[in-house]
Structure 1
Amino acid sequence: MDASQQEKLFAGARLRRLRRELDLSQAEFAETLGISASYLTLLERNQRPVTARVLLALAESHDVDVRSFAAESDRQTLSDLGEALGDPVLKGSDLDARDVRELADAHPRAAEAMARLFHAYRDASANAAELAARLADGNVAGTGSLLPLEAVRDALDAAQNHFPQLEEAADALREAARLDELGRTQGLHDHLRRQHGAAVRVYDDTVMGGTLRRFDFHARKLLLSEVLSPAGRDFQTALTAVLLDCADILDASTARAALPDPVAARLYRANLAGYTAAAVLMPYDTFHQSAEAAGHDAETLSHRFAVSYEQAAHRLTTLNRPTRRGVPFFLMRIDPAGNVTKRFGGGVIPFARAGGGCPRWPVHDAFRLPERTLTHWVELPDGTRYVSRTRAVARPLPGGGAALQAVVLGCEAQHAARLGLGDSAPAPIPVGLTCRLCERRDCAQRAYPPLQRTLKVEPHTRPVSPFAFS
């Protein structure tokens, strides 16, 4: 392959994803770009490279950052395929990283299908092993699957966690409830009473029996737990209004995602309802303007919009309107045991599907300093640099007490100036996605050797890393 061929840009999957985000047919999208529908079909199938003229049309017509189209392939897909190739079942395939990248570039849909198939295989293997252990112990209770959760996360990532139809529905609900006129709490309560004959009542934890929210259709009451903060009560009230008012748009958006099973579809719909409720409390245009003025600081925005820190951080990841984009963020929520309880990458950073995170990324320091925001600069093995803000937040628990969880909000280091961090950055911490996928040789904190390398045992040599590998 000569240099001119290597420089050609094939971005069919990204073009197709953008068209679906804009809810345009091929003919409509092609018209906005000044090309024919048949030519767009060739572009989306990677049978033609994307030209400079098409990139310019994307920037002018849809306010697209053309640099995102210059990425050679989807990072999350590459990470997933790398994890798959490290599995023992593919050890003899003689595939290397270049083969994987060529597959993802030339046949992105095939690459995504292969990654999805590996997820299903790994999930089925894990469930089979767990079931075998239960049978051995005489416990045959059913076991759940992580596959629906992964399917939902992938669907949110594919949409870049931005849903124009839900934003419009949230604006319409906000106007119908007269929130700007009556105030958020009164407006939501009055709307539920006028439109649905429902009252809002707060009960103590013993009455709620550990439930934070319950809508009683028979008594026409929304029951909220006293454990919820005022911001939490408003969010749960808005969520109830969304579920009652926006059922049709939630159903249609869920159907478009074409998720693999009913459990995943219900979980996805619940995520969309939460997204819409957040948009009711933090309308897109106002929130975007405030975010730009506040350096995208979730703490400042949480005070300004009277929401929790996590709600403000999550809303920052949704500012992906083509004509008015925010900073492209990723978000993770981690508990003290290291479990990732919420994750959104949006194409910003790949995530390991299994195994713990990198011990060199000091996100767990936040648990020692709760309610303080820590800033970290990190670099992945491929040289990509990120800046992250991590904050441990307390979530009240039914029955008393609170649980700490660390919320990590980050972006590529090139956006640091928009975060008010200036152009100069400290030396980044070298990190990996997870030990199984990281091939750094000099890491003294490594927990496992990399999947795609052969472990070497040298009895008379002790390197800085606990493991030596080929």
Structure 2
Amino acid sequence: MGRRLYAGQRLRALRLRQGLGQGAMAGRLGVSVSYLSQLENDDRPLTSSVLAALGRQFPLDLEGLHADDGARRFAATRAVLDDPLFGEARLDAQAVARLAEQQPELADRLVALHAAYRAAEERLQILDETIDTGADQGGRLPWDEIRDWFHQAGNYIDLLDRRAEELSGELVGGSADALAERLAARHGVAVEELADIEAAAIRRFDAARRVLMLGPALPPESRRFQLGWQLVALEMGGEIAAIADNATLRSVEARRLLALGLTNYAAGALLMPYERFRSAARAVRHDIDRLSRHFGVSFEQACHRLSTLQRPGARGIPFFFCRVDMAGNITKRHSATRLQFARFGGACPLWVVHDAAAIPDRVLVQLAETPDGVRYVSMAKGLVKPSGRYDRSPRRYAVALGCEAAHARDFIYADGLDVERARATPIGVSCRLCPRPDCDQRAFPPADRAIRIAPDRRDVVPYSIG
């Protein structure tokens, strides 16, 4: 892999961070304790087989061990060739290492071609859904435009994330009181409570009077988020406006929606600053309840933030995240994984998120597999947001967070699951796009296939797929 890669100090730091002794670490990597000791003391370089083992056992940490382009090329090429697209037979690590070393341009083009294929597949899915639903590109609603904009940005906005991280460092503790004090000291903004008659209201800002009014029924984490929202709107408004103005959008309404979304993003980044949140998430293996308690945020806010940890050079686990209402509509969605959500309609009925919506305050876990053979571990929880008054119904919905099975060791919700051998629930993106011919839960036939009707035969689904 080009010049030899010595990474003893980083390898030792990885072992200690995982709380492993040398014996346990050696067992994970399939090497002897003495050989591991030589690696940690830089007496030996990391070989392709050791890098492959590290990639299998600690995929989240492999990026930090890469010291040169050769090691990065090897890891990227290995990830591409492990895609189920190429079938179950996997190339030996040594063969991948030889390809990366002896044919670096070919390896780079293979990685680029795979990325282009995945992007084209995603665009085709969007086109299929658009044609199938009759929503042509010119007819996209501003809301759909903004969701697509964030998806194309990878759900990570570097400028705002770093500015929010800096701002968080200036706030002592980041409590609601600290946020209110900053609003008063820097911007002359007082915080008041709305009258009880407006219990359903969340936030009102009177710019002329410099008064921020918050709904009396807001739970503490929501109140803190709204304080943070107003603070970043005032301190980062220029950056937010510049991003929105330069975005390729079709209407003024879409730009205003984007500015609101960017402010929401910055507020989340303020309350959960990148490096502190990423480190804490890794330390508790992405336990949402513990993260929520530690950072004083809601369960949904912590889930959403985990899906944004895509900073180059310091990425978190690639997660998918969504929010589904009681009717099955996807009201929030983002995926840094190969699983992509339907842009129109609901999610696959076999997905555990639908069960969670009907059972609030209980975490459900599912091992699922998509038609391309990729396995995912997902966690879903039903939530209820009180309205603050009897004559308004509370909002009920469920959130889901998941990752590819390769990251199961770092995802606490996968504990107890045999992600390699256990039977996985076969899910799809949506019925319109799912190619599975034998799903009893199918609501519609796939848009790209003919159906066959047999009058003398009746199964659960009243047609077969051609």
Match status 1:303 vs 2:293: yes
Aligned partners of 1:125 and 1:161: how far apart in 2? 24
Match status 1:194 vs 2:190: no
Task: Flag structure 2 segments of 5+ consecutive residues without an equivalent.
Answer: 1-66, 86-112
In the TM superposition, what is the alpha-carbon distance from 1:438 to its structure 2 partner?
1.5
Q: State which of 137, 158, 167 in structure 1 corresponds to 2:161.
A: 167
Aligned partners of 2:219 and 2:350: how far apart in 1? 34
Aligned partners of 1:149 and 1:409: how far apart in 2? 22
Q: State which of 161, 183, 194 in structure 2 corresponds to 1:203.
A: 194
One-letter identity of the residue aligned with 1:447: A
Specify the alignment match of 1:142 in structure 2: none
Specify the alignment match of 1:37 in structure 2: none
Pairing 1:56-455 to 2, within 5 Å after superposition: 57=69, 105=116, 112=123, 115=126, 119=130, 124=135, 146-176=140-170, 178-180=171-173, 183-206=174-197, 208=198, 210-397=200-387, 399-400=389-390, 401-420=393-412, 421-422=414-415, 424-425=418-419, 426-455=422-451
TM-score by length of structure 1 reads 0.70
Q: Matched residue pairs, number? A: 368
Structure 1 residues 113 and 460: CA distance shift in structure 2, 3 A: closer
Contact 1:329 1:348 in 2 (8 A): no
Contact 1:375 1:388 in 2 (8 A): yes
Aligned partners of 1:151 and 1:58: how far apart in 2? 39
Aligned partners of 2:271 and 2:372: how far apart in 1? 39
Aligned partners of 2:437 and 2:128: how far apart in 1? 31
Structure 1 residues 197 and 249: CA distance shift in structure 2, 3 A: same
Contact 2:199 2:215 in 1 (8 A): no
TM-score by length of structure 2 reads 0.71
Contact 1:334 1:341 in 2 (8 A): yes
Structure 1 residues 107 and 309: CA distance shift in structure 2, 3 A: closer
Residues 187-231 of structure 1: per-residue CA shift (max 9 Å, x gap): 11111111111111122441x374210111122110000121111
In the TM superposition, what is the alpha-carbon distance from 1:304 to its structure 2 partner?
1.1
Q: Percent of counterpart pairs with the same letter? A: 37
In the TM superposition, what is the alpha-carbon distance from 1:358 to its structure 2 partner?
1.6
Residues 255-274 of structure 1: per-residue CA shift (max 9 Å, x gap): 44322332222212211111
One-letter identity of the residue aligned with 1:196: H
In the TM superposition, what is the alpha-carbon distance from 1:71 to its structure 2 partner?
8.6
Pairing 1:21-60 to 2, within 5 Å after superposition: 57=69
Secondary structure of 1:320's aligned partner: coil
Residues 143-184 of structure 1: per-residue CA shift (max 9 Å, x gap): xx65322221222122211122112211232234x233xx51
Aligned partners of 1:428 and 1:111: how far apart in 2? 24
Structure 1 residues 434 and 285: CA distance shift in structure 2, 3 A: same
In the TM superposition, what is the alpha-carbon distance from 1:463 to its structure 2 partner?
3.2
Q: Which moved further from structure 2: 110-119 or 190-199? A: 110-119
Contact 1:455 1:468 in 2 (8 A): yes
Specify the alignment match of 2:454 in structure 1: 458
Aligned partners of 1:115 and 1:229: how far apart in 2? 38
Contact 2:190 2:212 in 1 (8 A): yes
Structure 1 residues 110 and 299: CA distance shift in structure 2, 3 A: closer
Structure 1 residues 112 and 428: CA distance shift in structure 2, 3 A: closer
Aligned-residue CA RMSD in angstroms?
3.3
Task: Flag structure 1 segments of 5+ consecutive residues without an equivalent.
Answer: 1-54, 75-101, 128-144
Aligned partners of 1:168 and 1:319: how far apart in 2? 12
Aligned partners of 1:397 and 1:232: how far apart in 2? 13
Structure 1 residues 284 and 65: CA distance shift in structure 2, 3 A: farther
In the TM superposition, what is the alpha-carbon distance from 1:395 to its structure 2 partner?
1.3
In the TM superposition, what is the alpha-carbon distance from 1:439 to its structure 2 partner?
2.3
Aligned partners of 1:171 and 1:399: how far apart in 2? 36
Secondary structure of 1:291's aligned partner: helix
One-letter identity of the residue aligned with 2:279: Q
Secondary structure of 1:179's aligned partner: coil
